[in-house]
Structure 1
Amino acid sequence: MPCSSSVNHLPSQVMPKTASWKNGTNCCSWDGVTCHMSKDYVIGLDLSSWLQGALHSNSTLFLLRNLQRLNLAGNNFTGSPISSRFGILTGLAHLNLSGSSFSGIIPLEMMSHHLSSLISLDLSFSQYLTIEEDRSFRRFISNLTQLRELTLDYIDMSRISPTSLTNLSSTLTSLRLDGCRLQGTFPINIFHLPNLCILSLFDNSNLMGALPQTNWSSSPLVRLSLSFTKFQGPIPDSVGNFTSLEYLHLDGSKFTGSVPPTLWNLDRLSSLRLGGINLSGTVDFDMLARLKYLEDLYLWGNLNLMLPNNGNRSFPRLKELILSGVNLTEFPYFLSSLEELEWLNLYGNKISGPIPEWFGRMWSKTMIILDLSSNNFTGEIPSSICQLSSLSDLSFSDNRLNGTIPRCLGNFSNVSYLDLSHNQLQGPLPRSLANCTSLWNLDLANNNLDGPLPIPPPTVSFYSVANNKFSGDIPHQLCNATQLDMVNLSNNSLTDSIPHCFINLRPSVLDLRANKLVGHIPNIFFSGNDLRTIRLSQNRLEGTLPRSLVNCKNLEVLDLSENKLEDRFPYWLDTLPNLQVLDLRSNKLRGLINSFGKNNHPFPKLHIFDLSDNKFYGHLPAKYIANFIAMKDKARSASQYMWVNHSQATYQDSVMVVMKGFTIELVRILSVFMTIDLSRNFFGGDIPKLIGDLKLLKGLNLSHNNLTGKVPSSVGNLTNLEWLDLSSNKLNGQIPKGLADLTMLTWLNLSDNHLEGLIPQGRQFDTFNHPFDGNPRLCGYPLPNACGTDEQQLPPSTSSGDGEEKAQFGHWIEWWVVAMGYGCGISFGISTGYIMLETRRPKWLVRKVERWLMRMVERKRRKKKTRSKKNAAQRNHARRSTGG
């Protein structure tokens, strides 16, 4: 077909690249248009990276029936489907639709009958494209008898059996299937295709297979990538026969055995990646040095690297070097001969001593990425580092570096990633860092830095200065960094209030815990925010919880513990669909816990629920307990840690919990860690029987309340329970026998209740440390009083009169003795309260003080009763003497 205007009616051009496309001129002279040499029709069209908008089936593009080459790569067709009308272009030999935002199902059925002349086909990097039907794909492959290059990277092929690939043409020279979600076993005969030069299966984590162990020496392979697959077995010696091999990428796979010595015969290799494989033995550097053409070398994981005896060995072309976790204990001085190095990663070794001064001078114009993290480097950061003018990523984290941060780091105009965390750096942060206008990741956590809080450049997205000594208020200028996604200022000495201008930020993580912040939590959580973690614990915040928290629909962790908040229970939070951790421990919250909303499925994903050490009263929240779906069997999910990923940087969720009698910090939260802590409140009534439905529960703490009734037998259904604390309540009746059968239970405390009868016998019960003390009517092992003795010898059960009064007072005194003193002076009252509230104080001392105080109270009660009788007698005598 002639040029006419067919190529002029396409989606809108986004850049002025079509200046030569003018009406009235010969379209064969236009950029991107190729015409037949002797006839006036278009045979080639290259519109890569020019277009945006929808590509419809009625486009005049499909009128160009003589097209042999069509390149639409890198456009933005806004989710358009691949039209079946591509099948009309029967003369196509080369079709490239890669990275053009197509979506939907690839119409293989329509294309397979007409595009049999295809020599190359590239549909890669359209993540929303899928190949749905295995039979159609098999037929499509069979019809492409002239195909040489097939590229389907990152197309969804999860429904396609790898065996369909056995029908590929023997003419095939290149097969690229990176990230296609392939699963099953890759057919081994593909390795024997006579013309195959490139085979790349990178990032198919469920694709299994093995390399041929025999008859695999005639392949013309130039590139082979099996990285991050489940290919397994030994690497065969025959790999050394592929003398044309330039790229060999096996990192992150499941190969075992040793590195075959024939590998060092591949003297044309420019890229070798063997990291993360369970290979045994040692890689001799002198053997590696035979590979003179290497441009990148990745060794990480289980391999050991034997360094050369001298530093004269070199790789003249090496640009990327990763020697991560290869058990280096000394600095690899052969690096001083690598003049073209752009990327150096020595992460996770045991290298000690100072960072060499010559680093900056050696690669001042070439070094882009430098990672020396997780070693034992000491001393100061050498100032020569600042000469690395091309540096983009710098990580010295997790070493023992000291001294101050060089001021010249502010000269890094290109640096985007800076991680100096987990060192011993000190002093204030140089203000010049604000000049790093390309910086998006700044991690200075876990050092000894002090002074006012540093203000990051406005480009920063990840900002962590946790665990330092920064002081003063949070500057309002921080709010200018509107790109902030993760803000971690925890464990410093920051004062004043939380700036209201935080409403301008859109972070997914806001962590301000363990500072000295005061005032109210500002009402800054607007609708549509991206917050996933809010941690404001261990401050001095007061007032009520802001109702705008209900807008945080993505929220997974809310930790407001250890503050001075005074409010009712925030029942309106139960509508948050993703909330997994709710920690309101140690505040001044009060009242009943009821769900006043209309939500029939409150807290659907909650797995840590901590309201301990507050002033809640009434019955336990049975409605919530009944609807903790995530804590039941039917909600069982795979065990994984809660964390937020942000490109190369991560934020690890953590929380403080009382576990087995000790307050500890879970620095990583498993998604299957289920616990409820309602201890140290004023809850009364029975323990709901439906507590036994929470079969995934790991810990349950209801201690130090006013709970009555029996321990429900349904507790025996909690087969995953590891600790249970029901101590210091008024529970009565016998201990359920099912408790003794809980094989996961390793910590139990039922002390200081009114339990009675025989203690159930079980293997677990023999290992507990005094869990039954303070229940006078309990008997049997491990208590010293055996069952079956005279009932008169057992202490009388507590009546509803004086006994209940004593029990109530015992609980009351635990919480309010600080203010009372009880005639022994305020100082002793405060000391007693501290002893009784401090969980790590010896229980015998707590009980001794409590019994002493009980005797005092009983003595005062008797004196008061005696005085009352005496006063009554005097009043009666007076009335009788006056005739009243």
Structure 2
Amino acid sequence: MGWHRILCLLCFHFCLLSSIRFALPSCPPDQRDALLHFKNSFVLDSKSYPKMNSWYKGMDCCSWDGVACDGATGNVIGLDLTCSWLHGTLHSNSSLFLLRHLQNLNLYGNDFSGSHILSNLSAFTTLTHLNLSGSSFSGSIPSEISRLSKLVSLDLSYNYFFNLLENSIFTMLVQNLTTLRKLALDEVDMSMVSPKSFANLSSSLTYLSVGHCSLGGIFPDAIFRLPSLTTLYLFVNHNLSGILPKSNWTSPLESLSLWSTSFSGEIPDSIGNMKNLTILDLENCKFMDTFPRQCGISTNSKFCNITNLMLMNLSNNRLQGPLPCSLVKCVNLSTLVLSHNEFSDIFPHWLKASKLYILNLQSNKFHGRINLTAFGLSFPALENLFISNNNFIGQWPTEFFSNTSLSIIDLSNNKFGGPIPLPSPFTYYYSIASNNITGKIPSLICNATFLGIIDLSNNNLTGSLPWCLTNFSTNLLVLNLRMNQLEGTIPQYFSSRSGLMTLDLSQNRFEGTLPQLLVKCRYLEVLDLSHNQIEDTFPRWLGKLPELKVLVLRSNNLKDLLDIPRGAHLFPKLHILDLSNNSFSGSLPANLIMNLKGMMNDENMQDTSLYMTRSFGSGTYENSVAVMMKGLEYELVRILTFLTIIDLSCNSFQGNIPKVIEHLHFLVGLNLSHNHLTGSIPSTLGNLTNLEWLDLSSNKFSGLIPRKLGDLASLGYLNLSKNQLTGRIPQDKQLSTFSSDSFSGNPSLCGTPLPKVCLGDAQPPPPSSLLTFNRKRHERWLKQKIVWIGYALGI
């Protein structure tokens, strides 16, 4: 009986709810039609899930995805089309503006390229939330937005195409939107906005983000004291300066990001009042502070009360002294980045941060041995360890990292010694470069199959390479073993599944031939085998690698550079070709040069990154290479993506410079010195308008220096010395700026800057000298004439 009664009550409750639900008013037909018309004015991306797929005329629009209606009237009050991937233009006569009851409009993550933020928005007098971010709007922000006096949240960030936000419009916006709680204008050009205008922001503001806005001037510190502000992002406004409040700073701030601004001064003790702070990002500012040596509450209490802090980034400032002991109070820290400062301390075992995930101490003055027992106990959750560019000493037990979960280990540029400590099975990035590591590379390293980047360069490693090292993981992108004492042959096996992008074995003692299975490494971009003892012919088979950009084989025993067949389509993306100091002979390879499409046009120069880098987690790996530039050897610690170089110097090439070289329009450096090249210097070299250095020295070039070389406005280094050039050095344009060293060793060359004067350039002597000379010559002629007359008369 009881169950029957309960069942009846449940049925009654369900019927009541159903009747209430069905009694809700439906969407007015005119608003439904306006939404359908709005839908039909755009192209929907079929690859995404467009919310508008559920919009049909026969249905109540209040049931459509992204549409919210008033429960009493049925009017459309909310439109959320977040990430609907709409493509098209939002016009001023759009049916969207017929929805006069809108309170919430969110168009984030669409593509309205070419559309302006329209003044019609002022028609939405009841609007409280407006989000037009990330939707490719362009043009200026209209003043009419300041009329939306009920706005609680305004987000116009990341549209990339906004013109200037005038100071007057921003001032109106700040003054009129008195109920605003969230304001996001990231990537809006606010270079004309006075930071003083921010002082008038609503006291109810909880969120302010104006990153990448080109703001300049002094930011008012009153903003830091707003009573409700929990999030303040001012990042990447390089000319925006200010100081943090030194006293009376109590605030509910939870996130503070000032990275890449010009904020300066000390990090005040008052920051310790920010008990709610979870994110503190002061990277790349101008803070200068010296932390005291003592560890007492009264002397070193900056961070004592910030127990909720999860991320602290103080990198790239001028902070000195030991680490503040008050950091031990930050028990919730997951990320601690203190790199590129002047901290001087031992390794901070005392932190005991059980939740620490990232620890970055690189480029400071940390020193001493690392207490390995305390290390394991203090950081059980650590996954990213950056301690490079310090003065740590000692050695790591071989198996130390094997039992950790470290995915990034960067110990480079210290003074660690001993054998190689094996990485963890979970390690992706592993660098012990530039230490005093000795011994052989253990084959056990191949058990770390998750490794993507291995850098063991610049140590004292000996022995041969484990054969597994070139084929143990499909994850491996970078293998850098340069500047060691490794010997033997390069392993011959490379898998077709290899993802290898950088292989640097330079400056070792490898011998034998080049491994032809390298051709299976389809993603290989950088190959540097220079300064070894490899004996082989030119590996033209490497030209089949579609991504190869840097090929450096200098200082080996390579010979027989047989030119490739016409139309072979090899080396399509090569930017740097260095075959110098080998035993190549014969003519310069014209067909090979014709294949260097990456130096001929900008089709392969569209890489948006400036340097050839590899990103991983919270860091990057930068490729490096040694090249001859302007007569000197340089270590390029970062390779510019647009740097294009050909170096065939110190070989035995003969004959003329092939005419096809004129097509390498993007060539920056050309070195053909120390060969046996003959003929004249082709004037077509003057077509290489991006050329910055040209070295043709120590050859047998003859004839005149082409005047067209003077048209190379970018040419900063020229060496034509030790040839058989003749005639006058052209004196106009760029050629007149070089010293005599550029032309010395050409006996038949004359003119400035050489001391040898060209024939016809001699100046007539001064009149007095000429008169004296003529008088003496006349006297000699007269005496001689008298003698002749005497002979004739028989005297």
Determine if the TM-score, normalized by the shorter chain, exceeds 0.5. Answer: yes
1:195 matched residue in structure 2? 179
- 1:338-357 maps to which residues of 2 (within 5 A)? 338=329, 340=331, 342=333, 343-355=335-347
| Deviation of the 1:678 alpha carbon | 0.7
1:856 matched residue in structure 2? none
Q: Could you tell me which of 496, 500, 505 is aligned with 1:531?
A: 500
Check whether the contact 1:571–1:596 (CA below 8 A) recurs between aligned residues.
no
Change (3 A) 1:173 1:306: farther
- 1:749-764 maps to which residues of 2 (within 5 A)? 749-761=719-731
Q: Which moved more, 1:254-263 or 1:463-472?
A: 254-263
Change (3 A) 1:36 1:545: farther
Q: Could you list the runs of 5+ residues in structure 2 that have no partner in the other structure?
A: 1-6, 25-45, 70-77, 293-297, 761-795
Partner SS, residue 718 of structure 2:
strand
Check whether the contact 2:155–2:185 (CA below 8 A) recurs between aligned residues.
yes
Q: Could you tell me which of 209, 226, 237 is aligned with 1:225?
A: 209
Q: Could you tell me which of 324, 331, 341 is aligned with 2:322?
A: 331
Question: 1 CA distance for matches of 2:743 and 2:262?
Answer: 51
| Deviation of the 1:681 alpha carbon | 1.9
Any idea what the Cα deviations from partners look like across 1:728-749, whole Å, max 9, x if unmatched? 2221112223445655444433
Question: 1 CA distance for matches of 2:214 and 2:15?
Answer: 47
2:360 matched residue in structure 1? 371
2:557 matched residue in structure 1? 588
Check whether the contact 1:780–1:787 (CA below 8 A) recurs between aligned residues.
yes
1:80 matched residue in structure 2? 49
2:514 matched residue in structure 1? 545
2:73 matched residue in structure 1? none
Check whether the contact 1:471–1:495 (CA below 8 A) recurs between aligned residues.
no
Check whether the contact 2:588–2:657 (CA below 8 A) recurs between aligned residues.
yes
Q: Could you tell me which of 430, 433, 444 is aligned with 1:466?
A: 433
Change (3 A) 1:437 1:138: farther
Question: 2 CA distance for matches of 1:385 and 1:181?
Answer: 48
Check whether the contact 2:323–2:345 (CA below 8 A) recurs between aligned residues.
no
1:285 aligns with 2:268: yes
Change (3 A) 1:119 1:706: same
- 1:121-270 maps to which residues of 2 (within 5 A)? 130-132=110-112, 138=118, 146-150=126-130, 156-161=134-139, 163=141, 167=145, 169-176=148-155, 179=158, 181=160, 183-186=162-165, 188=170, 189-191=172-174, 192-202=176-186, 204=187, 210=193, 213-214=196-197, 216-218=200-202, 220-236=204-220, 239=223, 242-259=226-243, 267-270=251-254
Q: Could you list the runs of 5+ residues in structure 1 that have no partner in the other structure?
A: 1-24, 45-76, 392-411, 790-884
Question: 2 CA distance for matches of 1:385 and 1:182?
Answer: 52
Question: 2 CA distance for matches of 1:642 and 1:487?
Answer: 17
Any idea what the Cα deviations from partners look like across 1:58-78, whole Å, max 9, x if unmatched? xxxxxxxxxxxxxxxxxxx98
Q: Could you tell me which of 380, 385, 396 is aligned with 1:418?
A: 385
Question: 2 CA distance for matches of 1:118 and 1:262?
Answer: 44
- The one of the two structures with greater contact order (alpha-carbon pairs below 8 A, sep at least 6) is 2
- 1:2-13 maps to which residues of 2 (within 5 A)? none
Change (3 A) 1:566 1:144: farther
Any idea what the Cα deviations from partners look like across 1:197-233, whole Å, max 9, x if unmatched? 112345x387767367458254521111223443444
Q: Which moved more, 1:217-226 or 1:714-723?
A: 714-723
> How many pairs were matched up?
694
| Deviation of the 1:676 alpha carbon | 1.3
Letter in 1 for 2:509: R
2:700 matched residue in structure 1? 730
- 1:851-862 maps to which residues of 2 (within 5 A)? none
2:624 matched residue in structure 1? 654
Change (3 A) 1:695 1:199: same
1:93 matched residue in structure 2? 68
Check whether the contact 2:360–2:386 (CA below 8 A) recurs between aligned residues.
no
Change (3 A) 1:97 1:540: farther
- 1:342-491 maps to which residues of 2 (within 5 A)? 342=333, 343-355=335-347, 359-360=350-351, 363-365=352-354, 367-382=356-371, 385-386=374-375, 389=378, 391=379, 412=380, 414-491=381-458
Question: 1 CA distance for matches of 2:290 and 2:485?
Answer: 51
Letter in 2 for 1:454: P
Letter in 1 for 2:580: S
Change (3 A) 1:333 1:348: same
Change (3 A) 1:473 1:784: same
Partner SS, residue 573 of structure 2:
coil
Check whether the contact 1:285–1:306 (CA below 8 A) recurs between aligned residues.
no
| Deviation of the 1:157 alpha carbon | 1.8
Question: 1 CA distance for matches of 2:580 and 2:402?
Answer: 46
Per the normalisation by structure 2, the TM-score is: 0.75
Question: 2 CA distance for matches of 1:633 and 1:293?
Answer: 55
1:298 matched residue in structure 2? 281
1:317 matched residue in structure 2? 306
Check whether the contact 1:612–1:679 (CA below 8 A) recurs between aligned residues.
yes
Q: Could you tell me which of 525, 528, 532 is aligned with 1:563?
A: 532
Any idea what the Cα deviations from partners look like across 1:611-636, whole Å, max 9, x if unmatched? 11222223212234345444357566
Question: 2 CA distance for matches of 1:103 and 1:540?
Answer: 56
Question: 1 CA distance for matches of 2:675 and 2:52?
Answer: 68
Change (3 A) 1:345 1:231: same
Question: 1 CA distance for matches of 2:357 and 2:469?
Answer: 36
Check whether the contact 1:264–1:288 (CA below 8 A) recurs between aligned residues.
no
Question: 1 CA distance for matches of 2:511 and 2:235?
Answer: 53
Question: 2 CA distance for matches of 1:736 and 1:490?
Answer: 45
Check whether the contact 1:580–1:606 (CA below 8 A) recurs between aligned residues.
yes
1:61 matched residue in structure 2? none
Letter in 1 for 2:759: G
1:706 aligns with 2:662: no
Check whether the contact 1:131–1:160 (CA below 8 A) recurs between aligned residues.
no
Change (3 A) 1:197 1:350: same
Q: Could you tell me which of 743, 746, 750 is aligned with 1:779?
A: 750
Q: Could you tell me which of 652, 671, 688 is aligned with 1:682?
A: 652
Partner SS, residue 477 of structure 1:
helix
Aligned-pair identity in percent equals 37
Q: Which moved more, 1:773-782 or 1:551-560?
A: 773-782
Question: 2 CA distance for matches of 1:781 and 1:754?
Answer: 17
Letter in 2 for 1:39: S
Question: 1 CA distance for matches of 2:589 and 2:479?
Answer: 29
Check whether the contact 1:93–1:119 (CA below 8 A) recurs between aligned residues.
no
Change (3 A) 1:560 1:684: same
RMSD: 4.3
Question: 1 CA distance for matches of 2:103 and 2:119?
Answer: 17
Any idea what the Cα deviations from partners look like across 1:164-185, whole Å, max 9, x if unmatched? 7955954332234665545434
Letter in 1 for 2:423: P
Change (3 A) 1:105 1:754: same
| Deviation of the 1:528 alpha carbon | 5.4
Partner SS, residue 280 of structure 2:
strand
Partner SS, residue 460 of structure 1:
coil
Change (3 A) 1:472 1:755: same
Check whether the contact 1:420–1:443 (CA below 8 A) recurs between aligned residues.
yes
